[in-house]
Amino acid sequence: MSEFIEEIDKRRTFAIISHPDAGKTTLTEKLLLYGGAIQQAGIVKGKKGARAAVSDWMEIEKQRGISVTSSVMQFNYDGFCINILDTPGHQDFSEDTYRTLMAADSAVMVIDAAKGVETQTIKLFKVCTMRHIPIFTFINKMDREAQSPFELLEDIERVLGIETYPMNWPIGCGKEFKGVYDRREGEIIAFEQVGKTGQQQVKSIEAKLGDENLDELLTQPLHQTLVDDIELLDGAAYDFDTDKIGAGKLTPVFFGSALTNFGVEPFLENFLQLTTSPKARTSSIGVIEPKSDFFSGFVFKIQANMNKAHRDRIAFIRICSGKFERGMDVLHVQSGKKIKLAQSTQLMASEREIVDEAYAGDIVGLFDPGIFSIGDTLTTSKEVFEYEGIPTFAPEHFARVSQVDTMKRKQFVKGMEQIAQEGAIQIFKELGGGMEEVIVGVVGVLQLEVLEYRLNNEYNVEIRMQNLPYSSIRWIDNTLTDPDYDVKALSLTSDTKRVEDFKNRKLLLFTSPWNITWAEEHNEGLLLSEVGK
């Protein structure tokens, strides 16, 4: 039992979030570099012939230089077993990020030192605060021209409403960036570049603040600025408080440059000490502790065709309690059936290897023959329970989609259904209609481009796509309690559309907020919801 507890205690599971282009995927690669999971970092937006980032495995990601789907990577470092959830930064893929954050125990927020807090950072930060998870901030790109570090801290505090505690302090920026001052150790860590920029680990040189040799190492003006800054910080900054960090009310801030590796390893070492081992999770029967003697977990992501050689579907499970063993029998709560977890993998983005055992905090990929849905609970507990559901967000853009070649209807239906089950898109059909054509709803328009690309490349189906004028969707909650509720009898404006999803839940599509109000006012007792249940 002691080994079991020890294994859980050393788990650290976190998501990396940021606005696009803040350097999130590059930071992920450098953490893998220090963890020995890779020997050389790939460059996301490299020159022709350079490798794409490890975490960007989908072909369209490599072409566009953006992350469009979450990746899962595991590695060991200094006695810890680390699970990184790399998330899309682009707002059009934010729903995937929301779901991934449900599987994380903490979050690392990457901020561009030149731009400060950006729009998408604010949205993702709000999801973290809703869940009260610890947030650690890495202010990136200090090797380029940057805002004043004091301005950046003020920006985080003002825009996000969270207190900050700088764990280290930058010495210069851009071409003058010399390293960082570690406030807790009272030491300067200057950096010496080794090998090609950003591809190898860097060597650090340690020296005490006030050391007369620092004028030569840093230049006298930078040394004096550092002395003044630290004096000001020590007198005016928030106090270091682990309770506030754990509650998501204070964020430890680190400065560095993921591209050149400056500050990455000190960040990793501090982060692992400050963040928590797996947290307890809320369920329908109360709180489930990670060290419970039964296995349990939930599906937070489904991905089809990660590997062209396999052409299969993987369900990503966050293990919440106990120990996973390959071949174990578990209850799939939603279907009420016992299933054997015979095909299980751990992943490095799209690379996979068979895993025989895993513990609370780990992410495991399970072969999905088509039985899993996002939010499903798996357990060996004698007492049946479900973990909190993962909400379905209302799409804001809609298009009618049909296949060009009617002979490829089977591939079209399979592709649409599999991609929809991943949660990236939502598909609807006319009430009582078939799959000749479907209406697709997405949070961001770039998802439509990804859908067309994947249907063509993964399912060999060419499609026609017609944008629709709808901007809002509402689930009809009346049908949850009354299966015979007559949706066709509703009094609606002519430009409001009745549809159903593939769980046969009834919905309405609206072209404006005015139409929603009209429907509620002209149908007594009509219950509409913005979130699918």
Residue type, 124: L
Assign domain 281-379 to its CATH superfamily. P-loop containing nucleotide triphosphate hydrolases (3.40.50.300)
Tens-place pLDDT, residues 372-384: 888 899 999 999 9
The Cα–Cα gap between 49 and 51 comes to: 6
Q: What is the pLDDT of residues 408-459, one digit of tens each?
A: 888 888 888 877 777 777 888 888 776 667 899 887 777 788 888 888 888 8
Q: What pLDDT score was predicted for residue 191?
A: 64
Token pair recorded at residue 394: 């209302």
Residue 72: its H or E element: strand 71-77
Give the per-residue pLDDT at 492: 94
> Rounded to an integer, what distance in angstroms lies between the CA atom of residue 103 and that of residue 97?
10
Helical (H) or strand (E) element with 271: helix 264-274
Rounded distance, CA 436 to CA 447, Å?
A: 21
Residues 210/188, Cβ–Cβ less than 8 Å:
no
Count of C-beta atoms within a 10 Å radius of residue 137 = 28
First vs last C-alpha separation in the chain:
39
Query: Predicted confidence band at 3 (pLDDT cuts at 50, 70, 90)?
Result: confident
pLDDT tens digit string along 214-245?
888 888 888 889 889 988 988 877 889 999 99
Specify the higher pLDDT residue, 105 or 159.
Answer: 105
Share of the chain above pLDDT 70, in %: 82
Q: Are 427 and 470 in contact (CB under 8 A)?
A: no
Residue 472 has pLDDT above 80, yes or no: yes
What pLDDT was estimated at residue 203? 58
CA distance 110 to 527: 40
CA 294 to chain centre: 27
Contact assessment for residue 411 and residue 353, using Cβ atoms and an 8 Å cutoff: no
pLDDT at 102: 85
User: For residue 280, what pLDDT band results from cuts at 50, 70 and 90?
Assistant: very high
pTM, to two decimals: 0.75
Strands 437-442 and 472-476: unpaired
- The answer to whether the CB of 10 falls within 8 A of the CB of 81 is yes
- pLDDT tops 50 at residue 138: yes
C-alpha to C-alpha distance for 314 and 364, rounded to whole angstroms? 9
Of 39-48, 66-75, 320-329, the range with the highest mean pLDDT is 320-329
109, β-bridge pairs: 17, 137
Equal CATH topology for 281-379 and 397-529: no
Q: What is the pLDDT at residue 71?
A: 60
In CATH, what number does 12-76+87-274 get? 3.40.50.300
User: How far is it, in rounded angstroms, from Cα 513 to Cα 496?
Assistant: 11
**Mean pLDDT, all residues of the chain:** 81
* Highest CATH level, class, for 397-529: alpha beta
> Does the pLDDT at position 50 exceed 60?
no
User: How far apart, in whole angstroms, are the C-alpha atoms of residue 158 and residue 433?
Assistant: 50
In the chain, domain spans: 12-76+87-274, 281-379, 397-529
The three-state (H, E, C) secondary structure of 362-420, written as one string: CEEEEECCCCCCCCCEEECCCCCCCECCCCECCCCEEEEEEECCHHHHHHHHHHHHHHH
